[in-house]
Amino acid sequence: MVVGVAEGLAAGAEQGSGDDLFLTIEEEGAVVGVAMHTPPHALFLSRMPPAAADQLAHALAHRGRQLPGASGAMDATSAFASTWLRLTGRRAELGRALRLYRLHQLAAPEGAGGQPARAGAPQDIQLISRWMREFHDEAAPQAPGQDWNRAAARRIAGGEVQVWWDGGQPVAMACSSQTAAGVARVGPVYTPPQFRRHGYGTAVTAAVTKAVLLAGARDVVLYTDLANLTSNSIYLAIGFRPDHDAQELRFV
């Protein structure tokens, strides 16, 4: 996640601000964790020892950094929040409990009707923009929004979108990140409510995963909301396996 955002900023594909912050936490000359804060988003933490998360909280509080929340690996965010709340007098609310899955071996899905997925094209920008906004409003309405048209155009131009069609109409989409440090991340995956329970989401997720593997990704990962039992079963069915639990915390 951190490397992907950093590379996007460096390449001009992502819009940054002068307030963006990227950090390493070191112990005896070795990096033991990394973090980033790109307002208005929450602080994102990699996996790291609890002592490193504690050290990070002290450093950011000392700088007077304002954080709307923290997200990332469960152990790291819990340790960070414990110190942050003590230093700032705020309290934390759980936004979402998440799980990161890593692809073990891609399995072809069965049962989805329609045609094989095709890459998103410029004429799909309005459709993908709408679906990205609907995914945001359904899955993470508390998260900051963005210019959905611009985001859709950028992702389509980067070859990051696959669309599943059935009966001559688009019924589902899956997006991926650009590969960074050998890793590509799948998401968002979205099927409008009227097209659900037909296997489209499974099929288009497998399609975008295959596309990033063919493009050279060594590993493929994705985050799921633990409260969404359907999406978790979909990813298990096509070869993803749990890697670690994560969470999104809001500081209030």
Cα gap 112→119, rounded to integer Å: 18
Residue 14 vs residues 8, 68, 122, 177: alpha-carbon distances, Å = 5, 21, 19, 12
Please tell me the distance from the alpha carbon of residue 101 to that of residue 98, in angstroms, as a whole number.
10
Distance CA 144, CA 39 (A): 9
pLDDT single digits (tens) 64-119: 999 999 999 999 999 999 999 999 999 999 999 999 999 999 998 887 888 778 89
Domain holding 158, by residue range, is: 103-244
How many independent structural domains does the chain possess?
2
Asked if residue 162 and residue 70 are part of one domain, the reply reads no
Q: Which residues pair with 218 in a beta bridge?
A: none
Q: Specify whether 116 is located in the same domain as 86.
A: no
pLDDT in tens, 204-218: 999 999 999 999 999
Closest C-alpha to 148, from 119, 185, 190: 190
Angle at 250 between CA 92 and CA 191, to 5 degrees: 135
- Of 57, 90, 123, the last residue of a domain is 90
